[in-house]
């Protein structure tokens, strides 16, 4: 991830320097080989119409609007060969140059001026700069048009053809969106003179996006589980930073995410920095009980609600359907109660059908048998651990060990399918034994206990 951030930073600097660098003198420096010709070996990059990751809307001298595409991205995916007048040649690839820069040991310790010199060297061969010239202000690039720019080195130029295509994306849909912000949380944003700006990156990283292409294929992308983080198929995702115009407040907010010339509106939630007092909402939640703070947290962050308008039922058992619905709530999934769950005892139309179908599809849950899920059976402590570990893997945040393994006295009673998950949850401090020595894997969990488990999980992994 550090390499990727460095790569992007280098590209941004290159884009800026290309825009302001003066032209290189046409004559080669004394004593250096003359250039005979420049040959394009590879030139596979395709610009996508109105892709804001590689261009921007501009106006020409006559105030006509057009879309400007930065030629550096074409150069990034190109390889060329420079032939010298003595018969020799040198191959050049901007991507290879950047990779070399990324692989410099202890690059973070290099002096700033030296690092800038190294960055400038990326666009140089033998100490002389490769000059990029394009005429988009006079002749804008268009879809299917005769588009090009020029590369010049030591006074010799080559015309580089450019392809601009229609976006291959039809729709982008937000499928899962688990991250919630806390009001004025300085770990996730910063205050300015007029408004507090939240960092949209946190929301973006946790998203699960469904991308439908014009050829009918569908692709799913979760940044946290992708090596590219902000890239897919060699194209960038870009966030519109609109908070200066539309500051976020407690409640629902939005930002815009762009990819391949298309955009999607991403809803975000900011939760008040003072938790709800659920003892004033639910008649059966008493102030000062061990579970009160966890019920306050769970309800404030939308993990789950009461069993009725004025009742939470903290001592009641949490059944399997409820627990799966809570996981769907955490992920921000819009569940379809008419979905096909794959289980005979989870028919269409039930309040939990959509959540069970989602969890089964993503391998978060299995049935109690090949055909039945048993949605109304109370969830056991070992089942909670198993589902929580699978859920964490699904969203791309593996549970981390923070304590030594403590073998429970009733270890033999833990089912084989759950044993690894139980000890991982114990070592991560999400859950512990019931009396200091036993885990009680087959015991059921109350709603208050689940509120604590999931509140701790969210504090550790989703905040």
Do 22 and 156 belong together in one domain? yes
Instruction: For residue range 253-269, list pLDDT tens digits in order.
Output: 999 999 999 999 999 99
Residue 208, Cβ density class (10 Å: 0-12 exposed, 13-18 middle, ≥19 buried): buried
Do 426 and 351 belong together in one domain? yes
- Mean pLDDT within 68-81: 92
- Mean pLDDT within 41-68: 92
Do 426 and 282 belong together in one domain? yes
**Per-residue pLDDT at 4:** 41
Do 157 and 291 belong together in one domain? no
Return the closest-CA partner of residue 5 out of 124, 108, 123. 108
- Mean pLDDT within 450-459: 94
Q: What letters, b where the CB count within 10 A reaches 16 and e where it falls short, cover 65-89? A: ebbbbbbbbbbbebbbebebeeeee
Do 346 and 433 belong together in one domain? yes
Do 410 and 340 belong together in one domain? yes
Helix or strand run (H / E) with residue 297: helix 292-300
Strand partners, 80: 40, 92
**CB neighbour list of residue 432: distance below 8 Å, 6 or more residues apart:** 426
Cα 410 to Cα 406, 413, 415, 434: the distances in Å are 11, 6, 11, 11
Count CB-CB contacts under 10 A for residue 280. 9
Pick from 271, 301, 321: which residue ends a domain? Answer: 271
Instruction: Report the domain count for the chain.
Output: 3
**Per-residue pLDDT at 436:** 79
Region of 332 on the Ramachandran plot (φ > 0 left; ψ -120 to 50 alpha; else beta): left
Q: pLDDT at residue 42 above 90?
A: yes
Percentage, residues of the chain above pLDDT 90: 73
**Per-residue pLDDT at 32:** 67
Q: Any idea which residue has 């990029």 for tokens?
A: 132
Pick from 271, 297, 317: which residue ends a domain? Answer: 271
Instruction: For residue range 319-372, list pLDDT tens digits in order.
Output: 999 999 999 999 999 999 999 999 999 999 999 999 999 999 999 998 899 999
Roughly how many angstroms between the first and final C-alpha of the chain, as a whole number? 20
Q: Any idea which residue has 């084989």 for tokens?
A: 416
Q: pLDDT at residue 178 above 80?
A: yes
Do 179 and 92 belong together in one domain? no
Give the whole-angstrom CA distance, residue 432 versus residue 430: 7
Do 102 and 182 belong together in one domain? no
- Mean pLDDT within 122-151: 90
Do 304 and 452 belong together in one domain? yes
Instruction: For residue range 234-256, list pLDDT tens digits in order.
Output: 899 999 988 989 999 999 999 99
Confidence of residue 130 (pLDDT cuts 50, 70, 90): confident
**Per-residue pLDDT at 234:** 85
Confidence of residue 14 (pLDDT cuts 50, 70, 90): low
Confidence of residue 15 (pLDDT cuts 50, 70, 90): very low
Instruction: For residue range 140-175, list pLDDT tens digits in order.
Output: 999 999 999 999 999 999 999 999 999 999 999 999
Return the closest-CA partner of residue 382 out of 445, 329, 463, 454. 445
Do 308 and 452 belong together in one domain? yes
**Pairing verdict, β 181-182 and 262-271:** parallel
Do 122 and 189 belong together in one domain? no
Across the chain, mean pLDDT equals 88
Which of 3-12, 96-105, 115-124, 323-332 reaches the highest mean pLDDT? 323-332
**Per-residue pLDDT at 434:** 86
Q: pLDDT at residue 62 above 80?
A: yes
Q: Could you list the residue range(s) of the whole structural domain that residue 126 is in? A: 2-165
Q: pLDDT at residue 13 above 60?
A: no
Confidence of residue 31 (pLDDT cuts 50, 70, 90): low
Pick from 165, 186, 206: which residue ends a domain? Answer: 165
**Per-residue pLDDT at 25:** 39
Do 122 and 84 belong together in one domain? yes
**CB neighbour list of residue 219: distance below 8 Å, 6 or more residues apart:** 210, 211, 213, 232
Helix or strand run (H / E) with residue 257: strand 251-259
Q: pLDDT at residue 301 above 50?
A: yes
Confidence of residue 6 (pLDDT cuts 50, 70, 90): very low
């Amino acid at each position: 991830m550090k390499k990727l951030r460095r790569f992007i930073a280098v590209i941004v600097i290159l884009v800026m320097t290309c825009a302001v660098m003066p032209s290189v003198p046409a004559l080669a420096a004394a004593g250096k080989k003359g250039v005979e010709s420049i040959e394009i070996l590879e030139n596979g990059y395709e610009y996508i119409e109105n892709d804001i990751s590689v261009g921007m809307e501009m106006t020409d001298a006559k105030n006509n609007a057009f879309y400007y595409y930065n030629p550096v991205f074409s150069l990034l995916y190109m390889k060329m060969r420079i032939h010298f007048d003595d018969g020799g040649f040198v191959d050049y690839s901007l991507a290879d140059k950047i990779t070399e820069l990324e692989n410099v040991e202890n690059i973070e310790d290099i002096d700033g001026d030296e690092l800038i010199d190294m960055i400038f060297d990326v666009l140089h061969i033998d100490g002389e700069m490769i000059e990029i010239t394009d005429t988009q202000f006079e002749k804008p690039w268009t879809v299917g048009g005769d588009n090009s720019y020029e590369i010049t080195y030591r006074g010799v130029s080559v015309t580089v053809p450019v392809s601009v295509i229609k976006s291959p994306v039809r729709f982008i849909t937000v499928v899962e969106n688990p991250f919630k912000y806390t009001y004025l949380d300085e770990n996730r944003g910063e205050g300015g003179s007029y408004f507090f700006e939240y960092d949209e990156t946190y929301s973006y990283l946790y998203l699960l996006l469904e991308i439908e292409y014009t050829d009918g294929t569908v692709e799913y992308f979760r940044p946290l589980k992708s090596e590219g983080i902000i890239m897919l198929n060699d194209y960038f995702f870009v966030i519109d930073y609109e908070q200066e115009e539309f500051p976020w407040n407690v409640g629902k907010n939005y930002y815009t995410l762009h990819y391949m010339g298309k955009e999607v509106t991403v809803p975000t939630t900011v939760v008040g920095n003072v938790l709800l007092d659920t003892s004033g909402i639910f008649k059966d939640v008493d102030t000062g009980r061990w579970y009160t703070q966890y019920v306050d947290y769970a309800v404030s962050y939308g993990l789950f609600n009461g069993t009725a308008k004025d009742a939470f039922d903290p001592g009641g058992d949490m059944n399997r359907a409820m627990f799966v619905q809570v996981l769907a709530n955490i992920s921000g999934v819009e569940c379809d109660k008419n979905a096909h769950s794959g289980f005979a005892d989870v028919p269409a139309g039930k309040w939990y059908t959509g959540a069970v179908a989602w969890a089964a599809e993503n391998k978060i849950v299995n049935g109690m048998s090949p055909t039945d899920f048993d949605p109304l059976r109370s969830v056991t402590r070992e089942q909670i651990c198993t589902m929580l570990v699978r859920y964490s893997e699904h969203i791309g945040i593996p549970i981390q060990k923070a304590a030594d393994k403590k073998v429970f006295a009733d270890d033999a009673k833990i089912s084989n399918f759950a044993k690894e998950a139980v000890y991982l949850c114990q070592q991560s401090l999400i859950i512990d034994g019931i009396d200091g020595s036993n885990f009680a894997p087959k015991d059921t969990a109350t709603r208050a206990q689940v509120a604590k488990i999931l509140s701790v999980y969210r504090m550790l992994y989703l905040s």
